[in-house]
């Protein structure tokens, strides 16, 4: 067997989830997540005392309760892990082989299975070429760059390293926009009411990170524009917002909570919301959008509310992921 005939590894990568919906597990998860300098871009001597002295002593209990409310207790997994695993399993069932076979698996940036562990596992199966496919459509240093950091930190510790590729962001990819448009159209048609306004809620980012050159906001706005064009909706019909801000610093705006309050108090009675930047439903979509934001809208005078699911492992999602996967392993198989 020549080197070009050896199996190619393909890792589908997403953010992560605690190992269990209890306080110790959530504390470990938050410690790993929030100690990443790509996530909290502050001097370590300023941030780490706050993290270990305050945040990890107060936030895990509340977060554990929220995780417990969405947990897949029958299989012992958070929904993001379940969906990412299913995406990898469905991708593995697709014939991606060429001259070299393709071995598909998944990894989580925080929690398990980790990126370093999965790279080692693929190498143990003979993969000397590995492609990572981060399922983050819009580039941010706190997501895409953090995946690269983790992967290359793993390679630093290896005597024998694999060749490594990391998938590009796909915020303006026609396959992504098409998948979103088809999914939103189908889910809106299934509702028992017609929303007056639909909100596309992206995860937020500290404004300072954008000011330093992170292209994330621009990528989100491009996705929003292309999706409006694909759906034939105006800016007033399909609104843009940013959710999940943390701490006192200014984050990119408009905030999802502010947009929803504005809609309800201005007389909008029926709305739908979805999260185009999330490839899998998780705490931020199921609990934050589906419960907290819903309750806020109804409290302020709204009457009908719907949270549309993420692409998850739907047919549209798998067509998109297959397209991205074939692009990233092109030339290797």
Q: In Å, how far are 136, 146, 169, 209 from 212, measured between CA atoms?
A: 20, 16, 19, 5
Looking only at the bridges linking them, the beta strands covering 129-134 and 8-16 are parallel
Instruction: Rounding to the nearest 10 degrees, give the CA dihedral for residues 134, 136, 142, 145.
Output: 40
Residue 203 labeled ligand binder: yes
Residue 219 labeled ligand binder: no
- Residues within the annotated binding site? 203, 284
- Residues within the annotated binding site for Fe(2+)? 203, 284
């Amino acid at each position: 067997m020549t080197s070009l005939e050896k199996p190619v590894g393909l890792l589908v990568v997403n953010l992560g989830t605690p190992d269990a919906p209890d306080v110790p597990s959530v504390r470990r998860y938050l410690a790993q997540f929030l100690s990443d300098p790509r996530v909290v871009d502050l001097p370590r001597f300023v941030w780490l005392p706050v993290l270990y002295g305050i945040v990890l002593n107060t936030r895990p209990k509340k977060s554990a309760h929220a995780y417990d409310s969405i947990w897949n207790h029958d299989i012992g997994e958070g929904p993001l892990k379940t969906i990412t695993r299913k995406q990898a399993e469905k991708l593995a069932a697709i014939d991606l082989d060429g001259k070299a076979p393709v071995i598909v698996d998944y990894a989580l940036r925080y929690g398990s299975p980790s990126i370093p562990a999965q790279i080692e596992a693929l190498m143990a199966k003979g993969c000397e070429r590995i492609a990572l496919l981060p399922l983050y459509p819009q580039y941010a240093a706190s997501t895409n760059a953090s995946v690269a950091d983790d992967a290359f930190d793993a390679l630093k510790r290896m005597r024998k390293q694999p060749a490594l590729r990391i998938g590009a962001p796909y915020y303006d990819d026609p396959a992504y926009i098409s998948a979103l448009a088809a999914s939103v159209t189908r889910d809106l048609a299934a509702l028992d009411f017609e929303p007056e306004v639909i909100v596309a809620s992206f995860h937020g980012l500290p404004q300072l990170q954008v000011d330093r050159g992170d292209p994330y906001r621009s990528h989100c706005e491009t996705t929003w524009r292309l999706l409006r064009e694909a759906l034939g909706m105006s800016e007033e019909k399909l609104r843009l917002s940013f959710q999940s801000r943390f701490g006192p610093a200014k984050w990119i705006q408009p905030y999802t909570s502010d947009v929803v309050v504005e809609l309800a108090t201005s007389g909008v009675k029926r709305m739908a919301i979805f999260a185009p930047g999330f490839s899998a439903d998780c705490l931020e979509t199921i609990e934050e959008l589906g419960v907290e934001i819903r309750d806020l809208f109804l409290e302020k005078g709204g009457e009908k509310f719907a949270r549309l699911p993420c692409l998850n492992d739907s047919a549209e999602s798998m067509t998109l992921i297959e397209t991205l996967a074939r692009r990233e392993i092109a030339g290797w198989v």
